Amino acid sequence: PHFLIAMRPPNDAVCFNIDEKPGVILNLVTDPVTGFVVNGELIGDKKTENNKKVNTYFGKFGLVYNKMELRMEITTQEIKLFHGADITRFPWSATATSTHAGFAITINKERNLIVTMGVDVTFVILLHRVWKNHPLHQDFLGFYTLDNHRFSSQTLGLLGQFYHPIDAEVFNIRPGFDQGKVDATMFVKGHKLTVTRGNQKDYRLDPKHGTDVPCWFVHNSGKGFIDGNHTDYIVSTLF
Amino acid sequence: IADLKHQKKRSVDGHPTKQVKELEIYSFKVDCKITSRFARNVVTSRVVNRANESKEALFDVQLPKTAFIANFSMIIDGVVYVGVVKEKEVAKQQYQQAVARGQTAGLVKVTGRKMEKFKVSVNIAAAKKVTFELVYEELLKRKLGKYEMVIRVKPEQLVQHFQIDVHLFEPQGIAFLDVNATFLTNDLMPIVKKTLTGKKAHISFTPTLDQQSACTSCQNTGLDGDFIMTYDVDRDLSAGNIAIVNGYFVHHFGPANLPRVPKNVVFVIDQSGSMMFTKMFQTKEALHKILDDLNTEDNFAFISFSSSFRKWKNSLIRATTANVVEAHKYVSELHAGGGTNINDPLLEAAKLLDDAHNLGQVPERSVSMIILLTDGDPNSGESNPTKIQSNVKYAINNKYNLYCLGFGYDVKYSFLEKMSIENSGIARRIYEDSDAALQLQGFYNEVANPLLLNVELQYSQNAVSDVTRSTFKQYYDGSEIVVAGRIADNDLDMFVADIRAQDANSNITMTYEVSMSEVDNITQQQQYIFGDFTERMWAYLTIQQLLQQRISVGSEEKKLLTDRARELALKYNFVTPLTSMIVTKPEEQMDQGEFLAEKPVEGDRPHQAQKYHSPSHSRISAGSYHSTSAGSYHSTSVDSD
């Protein structure tokens, strides 16, 4: 999957890929103060050709909100909401809202799931439907943070670490190895990284084709841009 | 079967040596079409009189109590005699005039537990045929997770062309489909053909004469009992399914995958003298089973009563293992004796629930109910039914559901029914039979698992009209909410239904949207069954609800509701408790006058209203006949039928 981090100012973006095997679960957000955790499990294409790179996507997300004893499991088939021992299961075919005190989910039939906590935290999980008889691809999910104000400054995770501002400077823009693309040097978190100008897709507005977002691409699974190595974010269970 | 073959051969030879059937049902067919739970059944019976004198043929079928007769016709000599639905009083007057002229005919009102009878008789001239056709419609109600369709089969004669043919179409997809019959032996089982493909299913049962025989080389039929089809549709936690045809919509809402809401239940048990022996034994048996099924999150209490009442505990308690064990002991010690004081224990039950809520002993999101089981009229304490109803209504104050179970035939069912309906519940008759304990448990299971509270279904404002009931205090697991209405806006582009409800932990809203252009496609599929079904289903549901609302309103409003229900019943040709069907028989049969078909009302004692007068001729009962007229018989024709 690709990660896209908005940088402001100057309203630019940084992107990176995480390449891992299907079945691997990555921690995206962990806030030890509010007890909010988001993990995502990777899936691959239906089949892969020998020696070819395995494309991976998110096929399942797990959300935990300990404070309210709430858990959610979102797959491409359904949305399961656990409240204590109770389970409520919504299909993606429903347009529905479930409101708890200070926590709400809204399902827009076959399109997205919006999770809100109070007025300061909003996530969107997008459902990408693929033709079910496609020989290679299968349905997958996307995760977008719209508002993260309520999270504490101790928030971690592949996305969570960027919920609080970081300083990054891009300079020395020059022609890159790939024709038509430029490279630059990014100074971030005490590292000097070579980054490449490119585009990544934001599918919120156009779920089918996506909208191109120009971004500085960090190579090697975001190494240097993220805290530690991407393998540090691999967890054993969804919850 | 051998006999029938010989019969034909002998006829061809022209040397009959043995008497053959004088009245023969040569074809009997039940053709059933179900779409979106609405069933239209057409029962056709063809009879030939092979005697050389006229004979009386009797058409006798049983249909579910929940069904409305929609049409009846007889074809004699190519002439069709159709039943006409009239206002009950008008029909009765017409019928009574016929009776006054000495033309006694069949007025049939018979109720059983689930079925009611429809009978009509007609004289058929020698060598003539008659075709009877009865159409009835029914909205199948989901109970305990399934819809059930029962076709009662009782031909006492072998029928050359016997067929039950069921076509089912459910737009939501069919989750399962089971077919069974009480008369199905291992040999007959393979004859039931069932095909199921996603949304459509077809069932056919066409036994040959051989297969109908109860025994080898005998003329007795083995087909006697209920042909039962059960199924459910695919469901999940969504806004359900809406069918829109010809400007009418029907919305089925029965979500799955929801956690159950805890319930608080006070059992109010009659232990008056009339409950002694079997009834008490069965009540205890059922209560023991119910106690075992209580969820640990539920709260419960018992109040038993005769001339006075006795509380098991002073408050509701959680259904923990220890408490349930103690409750079993209490139930075992119940014994019958004394009068029937219904008023005081019901008021006390409401007080127990009030206290439990006020003191926070029960969860905020929970369903509170009172289940009353009684077998008699109040005769102790406050015995005026109207006063009791008003006391109970005041005490419950719209906060709890009251379910009344009337055990046996001595209860004043209408009293219990009104009291239940006024307090958001229902009344159910428990038939005094060997399975009474199972009936009690069955009812309890229907309300045992609440899933949603305060369910409101709303439709595009100003775009719909004549919507049936659309708010419900609870939705129970295994049931289904059905709302129907008329689309008032001819230019409507998008039909939107919003559902608001509360589950165990959260408030849920769901939306169903369908563009009217898509509706055309859906309609195409649904016409596979019958085109105007949505409108008829709406009419059926509206009449049913109006009839129920009548029970708990004042006289002025009652008149309005009655007029509206009657008007719809006449428009859609339904035989309801407000309308009757008159079938005018052929002129030469004026000695038999007219036939009047009425809808029996729950609460009537079975057989009480049966008035059937039949001349002592042969009778045919849905495929059977008993010949009582001797007469010589001589066959001169061959009938390929």
ipTM: 0.80
> Would the CB atoms of A97 and B508 count as touching at under 8 Å?
yes
Alpha carbon dihedral A93, A94, A99, A104, in 10-degree steps, equals: 40
Say which residue, B187 or A113, is predicted with more confidence: A113
Residue B527 contacts A where some CB pair is shorter than 8 Å: no
Collect all residues with Cβ–Cβ distance below 8 Å to B325 and sequence separation of at least 6.
Answer: none
Residues B152 and B520: their CA atoms lie apart, in Å, by 36
Residue A68 contacts B where some CB pair is shorter than 8 Å: no
- Model pLDDT, residue B59: 86
The sign of the CA dihedral B460, B462, B468, B470 is positive
DSSP characters over A167-212: -EEEEEEEE-SSTT-EEEEEEETTEEEEEEEEEEEE-SS-TTT-EE
- On chain B, the residues whose CB falls within 8 A of the CB of A97 are 507-510
- Model pLDDT, residue B625: 30
- Model pLDDT, residue B627: 29
Alpha carbon dihedral A225, A226, A230, A234, in 10-degree steps, equals: -170
> Would the CB atoms of B238 and A99 count as touching at under 8 Å?
no
Alpha carbon dihedral A86, A90, A95, A98, in 10-degree steps, equals: 20
Shortest Cα distance from A115 to chain B (angstroms)? Answer: 14
CA angle B161, B57, B136 (to 5 degrees): 65
pLDDT at B619 over 70: no
Neighbours of B93 (CB within 10 A): 12
Nearest-by-Cβ selection for A95 from B258, B259, B513 = B513
Place of tokens 């919305």: B251
Nearest CA among A99, A93, A131, A137 for reference residue A118: A99
Residue B108 contacts A where some CB pair is shorter than 8 Å: no
pLDDT at B396 over 60: yes
Judging by DSSP bridges, how do beta strands B68-76 and B79-82 pair with one another?
Answer: antiparallel
Contact B492, B247 (CB under 8 A): no
Instruction: Count the alpha carbons within 13 Å of A164 in the hemisphere toward its beta carbon.
Output: 11
Contact A201, A211 (CB under 8 A): yes
H or E stretch covering B265: strand B263-270
- Model pLDDT, residue B12: 35
- Model pLDDT, residue B606: 44
Say which residue, B640 or B290, is predicted with more confidence: B290
Residues B192 and B197: their CA atoms lie apart, in Å, by 17
- Model pLDDT, residue B96: 76
> Would the CB atoms of B257 and A99 count as touching at under 8 Å?
no
> Would the CB atoms of A91 and B238 count as touching at under 8 Å?
yes
Residue B257 contacts A where some CB pair is shorter than 8 Å: yes
Residues B295 and B366: their CA atoms lie apart, in Å, by 13
Contact B256, B475 (CB under 8 A): no
Residues of chain A with pLDDT under 70: 9-10
The per-residue pLDDT for range B210-247, each reduced to its tens digit, is 888 888 777 788 888 899 999 999 998 888 988 888 88
Contact B303, B268 (CB under 8 A): yes
Residues A101 and A88: their CA atoms lie apart, in Å, by 16
End-to-end CA distance of chain B: 15
Shortest Cα distance from A113 to chain B (angstroms)? Answer: 13
Residue A48 contacts B where some CB pair is shorter than 8 Å: no
Say which residue, A83 or B524, is predicted with more confidence: A83
Residues B548 and B546: their CA atoms lie apart, in Å, by 5
> Would the CB atoms of A91 and B507 count as touching at under 8 Å?
no
- Model pLDDT, residue A55: 86
Residues B291 and B419: their CA atoms lie apart, in Å, by 25
> Would the CB atoms of A94 and B237 count as touching at under 8 Å?
yes
Chains A and B: how many Cβ contacts under 8 Å? 66
The per-residue pLDDT for range B471-520, each reduced to its tens digit, is 999 999 999 999 999 999 888 888 999 999 999 999 999 999 888 877 76
Residue A94 contacts B where some CB pair is shorter than 8 Å: yes
Main-chain dihedrals φ then ψ at residue B350, nearest 5 degrees: -60, -40
pLDDT at B405 over 70: yes
- Model pLDDT, residue B537: 93
Mean pLDDT computed over every residue of chain B? 84
Nearest-by-Cβ selection for B506 from A84, A95, A99 = A99
- Cis bond before residue A214 (omega within 30° of 0): no
Neighbours of B184 (CB within 10 A): 19
- On chain B, the residues whose CB falls within 8 A of the CB of A102 are none
Place of tokens 């219990």: B416
- Model pLDDT, residue B20: 57
Say which residue, B634 or A10, is predicted with more confidence: A10
Q: What chain A residue is nearest to B256 in terms of C-alpha separation?
A: A89
Residues B416 and A127: their CA atoms lie apart, in Å, by 52
Shortest Cα distance from B235 to chain A (angstroms)? Answer: 10
> Would the CB atoms of A91 and B237 count as touching at under 8 Å?
yes
- Model pLDDT, residue A167: 87
- Model pLDDT, residue B125: 87
Nearest-by-Cβ selection for B504 from A86, A91, A96 = A86
pLDDT tier for residue B616 given thresholds of 50, 70 and 90: very low
Shortest Cα distance from A84 to chain B (angstroms)? Answer: 10
Residues B375 and B436: their CA atoms lie apart, in Å, by 12
Shortest Cα distance from A229 to chain B (angstroms)? Answer: 40
> Would the CB atoms of B238 and A90 count as touching at under 8 Å?
yes
pLDDT tier for residue B377 given thresholds of 50, 70 and 90: confident
End-to-end CA distance of chain A: 20
Residues B211 and B426: their CA atoms lie apart, in Å, by 43
- On chain A, the residues whose CB falls within 8 A of the CB of B238 are 90-91, 93-94, 96
- Model pLDDT, residue B559: 94
CA angle B143, B504, B37 (to 5 degrees): 25
pLDDT tier for residue B107 given thresholds of 50, 70 and 90: very low
- Cis bond before residue B262 (omega within 30° of 0): no
With b for 16 or more beta-carbon neighbours within 10 A and e for fewer, the B19-52 pattern comes to ebbbbbbbbbbbbbbbbbbbbbbbbbbbbbbbbe
- Model pLDDT, residue B587: 61
Residues B94 and B88: their CA atoms lie apart, in Å, by 10
Collect all residues with Cβ–Cβ distance below 8 Å to B324 and sequence separation of at least 6.
Answer: B291, B292, B294
The sign of the CA dihedral B369, B374, B377, B383 is negative
Q: What is the mean pLDDT of residues B97-106?
A: 60
Nearest-by-Cβ selection for A100 from B238, B239, B505 = B505
Residues A115 and A29: their CA atoms lie apart, in Å, by 14
Under DSSP, the state recorded for A161 is G
Shortest Cα distance from B516 to chain A (angstroms)? Answer: 18
Residue B238 contacts A where some CB pair is shorter than 8 Å: yes
Residue B503 contacts A where some CB pair is shorter than 8 Å: yes
3-state helix, strand, coil in chain B (%, to 5): 25, 35, 35
Among the residue ranges A12-26, B49-63, B379-393, B595-609, the one predicted with the least confidence is B595-609
Alpha-carbon distances, residue B630 vs B19, B53, B55, B323, B618 (angstroms): 10, 11, 11, 71, 10
pLDDT tier for residue B2 given thresholds of 50, 70 and 90: very low
pLDDT tier for residue B593 given thresholds of 50, 70 and 90: low
* Report for A93-107, B100-114, B348-362: range of highest mean pLDDT: B348-362
Residues B426 and B417: their CA atoms lie apart, in Å, by 7
The per-residue pLDDT for range B302-311, each reduced to its tens digit, is 999 999 999 9
- The overall longest dimension of chain B from CA atoms, in Å, is 91
Alpha carbon dihedral B417, B423, B424, B425, in 10-degree steps, equals: -40
H or E stretch covering B263: strand B263-270
- Model pLDDT, residue B460: 84
Contact B300, B455 (CB under 8 A): no
